[in-house]
Amino acid sequence: MLTYLIFLPLLTGLLLCLVPRNYGFFMRLAALAATGVTMLLAVALFLQFDGAPLGPSHAFKFEQQIPWIPALGISYHVGVDGVNIGLILMGAIVAFAATCCAWEIRSREKEFYILLLLMTGGILAAFCSLDLFLFYFAHELALVPTFIMIGVWGRGSDKNLATFQITLYLSLGALVALAGLIALYLRAGAHSFDLVTLMQAAAKQPLPDADQKLIFPLLFLGFGVLISLWPFHTWAPLGYGSAPTPTAMLHAGVLKKFGLYGLIRIALPLLPHAAQAWAGTIAWLCLGNLVYCGFVAMRQKNLNWVIGYSSVAHMGFVFLGIASLNLIGVSGAILVMIAHGFLAALSFGLSGYLEQTTGTLEINEMGGLLRRLPFLGSALLLALFAGCGLPGFANFAGEVTVFFGAWKQFPVVTVLGVWAALVIGGVYMLRAVRGILHGPVPARFAAVQESDWPLRPLPYVLLILPLLLFGFRPSLLTDKIWPAAQSVLAVVTPADAAPPPGPTGPPKTKPARLVEHQP
């Protein structure tokens, strides 16, 4: 199942290499079909996956393992659990939506769609992989096309600078993370890149603290750059502002989650002591994202930059959740990752549509467009409100869970984080609404109209629906997430994994009266 999911887009991409380049429309259809079927497969996978608590060792479902480079202990090993099932679903939906939005690409379509399909395959492979090498390989497979896409199909005058900066930054980050992964491989002594093997080895005997303290910073900094951790975030808004819309959607929505996924999947269970030692630092660094980048977002005049900085700021919630190192915080962090994936893709998709419609993204030049562009305007309004943490969207559920998780460990950081979520986020999002959608309509936009093609809203609707669905019923995700998060944390904070204590002590969190009424 997982292998179909991964190789369908990859093989379609390879097949497209054989198609002559003047069959642009066919290529578009083929890419849509491939990503569309992938999306349906991912939905089916999500529905089949039951989040029942798992045994400590066999934590993965739909597992498949094929030796790849046995000399190094590298294998093609894929599987899902509650940590990645939601991310796979999110990645597949975003990939299809991004392919729909690739309508704007009118030159060298062949190369673009091939790269897009490679990216899609890489994304899904990275999230499915249970092998460190496969994870890294798939990550590069998804990452490298972004550089090329920005360089060739990018928007705006800063395109070259953006390409240069994003390539330099992310490659350096990826290399540092690679160094960390290789060090992990060498030090673990299991002679294997296989995550399950490594986790079992670590469960028996954790790495020596000295090694952990050496490797964790490498992984943290390397992944941190990929996630746009403050102060390594400046590539993000510039890159997103210059990237073609589908690339920005995929990168901000999905690729950015790789680093976080790596931290949760690899760094926490394999380097538990170092993770504990670094938790305080991570918590304080996350304020750089939440507060500082939030403030910077307040000063931006271009919608793409506002969204870019807000997407950097939102990463702070995930960092805070991870730093709390407890079940609530980490589950909340995963929930935010999924929600933010949909949201970032939606925001960049809409801003791309807006730019095609109006020819600008400068907030000061626009105004009152909600009247002229009813669908686009309403969808943007929803996206911006989801971005400032409105209940009803999945982001709120994730953020509030993170706050509950982090409150006891880091009260001061949480106070500032709540301020950032409710007030700073509100200020920059509502400024954008006020500038773009509200107010009088400038004369130049008096006749602007959105596309009347009935399927044009499809990608945006596809992204809004899961946001609302998981916003109203977050348990659809959290019921799957928390048992898996618990097994990840079992090494870090053994208390969490302990079986529920018996009836000793009064049940504090839930009165008996409530239980009676539950079916």
Stretch that binds other proteins, among 26-34, 135-143, 194-202, 447-455 (CB under 8 A): 135-143
Residues 471-490 that bind other proteins (CB under 8 A): 473-475, 478-479, 481-482, 486
Q: Is 295 in the site for other proteins (CB under 8 A)?
A: yes
Number of helices (H), then strands (E), in the chain: 25, 2
When binding is defined by CB under 8 A, the residue of 66, 446, 447, 514 that contacts other proteins is 514
Nearest 5°: the CA angle 394, 400, 403 is: 145
3-state secondary structure 233-257: CCHHHHHHHHCCHHHHHHHHHHHHH
Q: Which is nearer to other proteins, 38 or 431 (CB)?
A: 431
3-class secondary-structure state, position 391: coil
Around Cβ 394, how many Cβ atoms within 10 Å?
29
How many whole angstroms separate alpha carbon 460 and alpha carbon 336? 19
Residues 10-69 that bind other proteins (CB under 8 A): 69
Tokens 């198609």 sit at which residue? 19
Q: Which is nearer to other proteins, 151 or 206 (CB)?
A: 151
How many whole angstroms separate alpha carbon 307 and alpha carbon 305? 5
Q: Is 433 in the site for other proteins (CB under 8 A)?
A: yes
Around Cβ 57, how many Cβ atoms within 10 Å?
11
Q: Which amino acid is at 199?
A: M
When binding is defined by CB under 8 A, the residue of 40, 52, 72, 412 that contacts other proteins is 72
- DSSP track, 431-495: HHIIIIISSPPPGGGTT------TTTTHHHHHHHHHHHHHHH-THHHHHHHHHHHHHHHTTT-HH
Residues 367-386 that bind other proteins (CB under 8 A): 368, 370-371, 385
How many whole angstroms separate alpha carbon 266 and alpha carbon 188? 13
When binding is defined by CB under 8 A, the residue of 17, 25, 204, 440 that contacts other proteins is 440
Q: How far is the CB of 495 from other proteins (least distance, A)?
A: 6
Around Cβ 53, how many Cβ atoms within 10 Å?
11
When binding is defined by CB under 8 A, the residue of 14, 32, 65, 140 that contacts other proteins is 140
Residues 251-290 that bind other proteins (CB under 8 A): none
| Partners of 199 in the β-ladder | none
Q: Is 364 in the site for other proteins (CB under 8 A)?
A: no
Stretch that binds other proteins, among 54-62, 230-238, 261-269, 347-355 (CB under 8 A): 230-238
Q: Is 365 in the site for other proteins (CB under 8 A)?
A: no
When binding is defined by CB under 8 A, the residue of 49, 76, 127, 137 that contacts other proteins is 137
3-class secondary-structure state, position 410: coil
Q: Is 447 in the site for other proteins (CB under 8 A)?
A: no
Q: Which is nearer to other proteins, 256 or 431 (CB)?
A: 431
Q: Which residues contact 465 (CB under 8 A, 6 or more apart)?
A: none
Stretch that binds other proteins, among 13-21, 36-44, 216-224, 328-336 (CB under 8 A): 328-336
When binding is defined by CB under 8 A, the residue of 38, 84, 120, 167 that contacts other proteins is 167
Q: How far is the CB of 478 from other proteins (least distance, A)?
A: 5
Q: Is 171 in the site for other proteins (CB under 8 A)?
A: yes
* Residues 388/319, Cβ–Cβ less than 8 Å: no
Q: How far is the CB of 32 from other proteins (least distance, A)?
A: 26
Q: Is 136 in the site for other proteins (CB under 8 A)?
A: yes
Best CA proximity match to 269, nearest among 188, 155, 332: 188
Q: Which is nearer to other proteins, 72 or 210 (CB)?
A: 72
Q: Is 511 in the site for other proteins (CB under 8 A)?
A: yes
Q: Is 135 in the site for other proteins (CB under 8 A)?
A: no
Please provide residue 81's backbone torsions phi and psi, each rounded to the nearest 5 degrees: -140, -170
Q: Which amino acid is at 319?
A: F
How many whole angstroms separate alpha carbon 323 and alpha carbon 91? 24
When binding is defined by CB under 8 A, the residue of 45, 400, 413, 490 that contacts other proteins is 400
Q: How far is the CB of 324 from other proteins (least distance, A)?
A: 9
Q: Is 443 in the site for other proteins (CB under 8 A)?
A: no
How many Cα neighbours within 13 Å face the side chain of 406? 34
Tokens of residue 71, six digits: 């000399």
When binding is defined by CB under 8 A, the residue of 156, 439, 448, 451 that contacts other proteins is 439
3-class secondary-structure state, position 442: coil
| Partners of 129 in the β-ladder | 78
How many Cα neighbours within 13 Å face the side chain of 68? 19
Residues 404-423 that bind other proteins (CB under 8 A): 404-405, 407-408, 414-415, 418-419, 422-423
Q: Which is nearer to other proteins, 7 or 68 (CB)?
A: 68
Q: Is 517 in the site for other proteins (CB under 8 A)?
A: yes
When binding is defined by CB under 8 A, the residue of 36, 156, 392, 442 that contacts other proteins is 392
Stretch that binds other proteins, among 38-46, 278-286, 456-464, 499-507 (CB under 8 A): 499-507
Q: Is 432 in the site for other proteins (CB under 8 A)?
A: no
3-class secondary-structure state, position 119: helix
Q: Is 216 in the site for other proteins (CB under 8 A)?
A: no
Q: Which is nearer to other proteins, 264 or 293 (CB)?
A: 293
Q: Which is nearer to other proteins, 74 or 199 (CB)?
A: 74
Instruction: Name the maximum alpha-carbon separation found in the chain.
Output: 73
| Partners of 62 in the β-ladder | none
| Partners of 80 in the β-ladder | 61
Q: How far is the CB of 380 from other proteins (least distance, A)?
A: 13
Rg (CA), the chain: 22
